Structure 1
């Protein structure tokens, strides 16, 4: 007998209710074993264990790992069940492309796992301190400059502004009135900068100035500048704690690189003569259609 819309809705609600009861029973039922081999679901004869969920959880991005345990458990278990359903179907239609793809995925996973093991090993404090000394200890302190400028279109305008400044005009007021640069409304203030942050001709003029001295007109691709050096200072090396994470990450990368070079040197790698080999074949997916 055909069922009406109301009956279909009722059946749908019943199915959802039964599914919820089944899941609740699974979660509430006491399990005999509470270790990595504990079976949480069986899909067409294949077990999904607590160990599978632990391994999956360990590889999740941080934002997912911070979810409540109940949400995380249900989401991961459902995903693994769905994946196993699909994978079981795929196993019956395995192609060369799929088999080789699995080999590549396994190779990449194992290599990444080893790199993580190498990188995450504890780094002694003395090694971090030695790296800090290596990076910052022998470095000459960089000089920082604080300057203001007025940008105009012609050299004549720049010379006129210099004459006004020599007559006692206020630099910031002239910058607000005449500068075409974005710093004009701020009195021409450029803030602190170091070598390499400004165009060469501008930098050269700044470096030649004493504090509160005004430059001659300086031409750049932006126009003509009148520059005042407000002050300069030596930039101290950062404190160890300020760069600790940066140093640690660099040491971890160096460990991985060194170990990779070592293992590669020890490996028995054979490379056949590839003279005449058609490298464009890497794009021929038809070679895997069997």
Structure 2
């Protein structure tokens, strides 16, 4: 499994250059008349603000908009922000606020970020094909060793004496689920002590050893664990099936996208002449990562792996 550092979308930062353009360089009237989303939704001192402009503003403000707000409320906030932005920027120009040289430096930086985003997005899109996803899935499944899982019920008691009473009742023929509902201290006793399907590693050792030693239909003698005393009934056992392709497809797509981005940056750095002073720190280097999300917008931490079953209550 190859771990990948969590990445953060660059939309907010990249929107800065577009917002600057919105504030300082409004669209010409001829441009505003072309597509439907380029038609003015508001004007400020005769200058249009289009739906395209509002889309850019919305991307920049997305993280700050309250999730409980309605779409109409968000749109109203975004529109008013765009108007305020246009007015404030015009006033800043009038009062000559801001260092022009500093502004140019930031615009150059944002331009590089936008170009990097476009290149990384292309690399990710090219890497995530149906064939590549299927191949990665098949290879991952082959590496997963067969694993047995069992379906069991249990009755949880505080002491050995009560556990022996419960054991005597079920061994005498009483319904296990009925006895579990009447005697078990487990919150899941309302389901007749049903733990569902689980693998050996999902339970404490004492419980797992006892459960996996049983045959379907068999009931264990009282078993002590850190949670108390258990009486266990094995319902069935089977080999655990790997997740389906559809279940892990988003994970695989995200992994392939980020791997392609990492590979591209590694290739670019290997082919470039980079003069970098030796860092003063002697500590471990930070992972440079790829500051862009994969095409589907997800942000995985690791390569795809078969998802574990939910941990049963004990």
Q: TM-score range by the shorter chain?
A: 0.5 to 0.7
Aligned-partner Cα distance in 2 for 1:184–1:139: 34
Aligned-partner Cα distance in 2 for 1:121–1:257: 14
Q: Of 78, 94, 97, which residue of structure 1 is paired with 2:98?
A: 94
Shift in alpha-carbon separation, 1:245–1:39, aligned structure 2, 3 A: closer
Compute the displacement of 1:227 (Å): 0.8
Residue 186 (structure 1) aligned with residue 188 (structure 2): no
Structure 1 residues 97-151: Cα deviation after superposition (integer angstroms, max 9, x where no partner): x758767655555444433232233633322221111111343343221110010
Shift in alpha-carbon separation, 1:252–1:177, aligned structure 2, 3 A: same
Structure 1 residues 8-48: Cα deviation after superposition (integer angstroms, max 9, x where no partner): xxxxxxxxxxxxxxxxxxxxx99796279x79588789x76
Compute the displacement of 1:265 (Å): 3.1
- State the SS of the aligned residue for 1:145: strand
Aligned-partner Cα distance in 2 for 1:124–1:186: 44
Report the counterpart of residue 223 of structure 2 in structure 1.
Answer: 218
Shift in alpha-carbon separation, 1:33–1:158, aligned structure 2, 3 A: closer
Structural mapping, 1:11-160, within 5 Å: 34=34, 53=53, 56=56, 59=59, 79-90=81-92, 92-94=96-98, 108-121=113-126, 123-160=128-165
Residue 264 (structure 1) aligned with residue 266 (structure 2): no
Aligned-partner Cα distance in 2 for 1:145–1:57: 54
CA contact (8 A) 2:127 2:257 kept: no
Compute the displacement of 1:84 (Å): 3.1
Structure 1 residues 243-279: Cα deviation after superposition (integer angstroms, max 9, x where no partner): 33332222112211221222233344333345489xx
Give structure 1 stretches of 5+ with no counterpart. 1-28, 278-290
Shift in alpha-carbon separation, 1:82–1:166, aligned structure 2, 3 A: same
Larger helix proportion of the pair: 1
What is the TM-score with the length of structure 2 in the denominator? 0.60
Residue 253 (structure 1) aligned with residue 258 (structure 2): yes
Give structure 2 stretches of 5+ with no counterpart. 1-28, 66-70, 283-314
- Higher CA-based Rg: 1
CA contact (8 A) 1:48 1:80 kept: no
Matched length? 240
Higher RCO structure (Cα 8 Å, ≥6 apart):
2
Compute the displacement of 1:159 (Å): 2.4
Compute the displacement of 1:83 (Å): 2.0
RMSD: 4.2
Aligned-partner Cα distance in 2 for 1:88–1:107: 26
- State the SS of the aligned residue for 1:183: helix
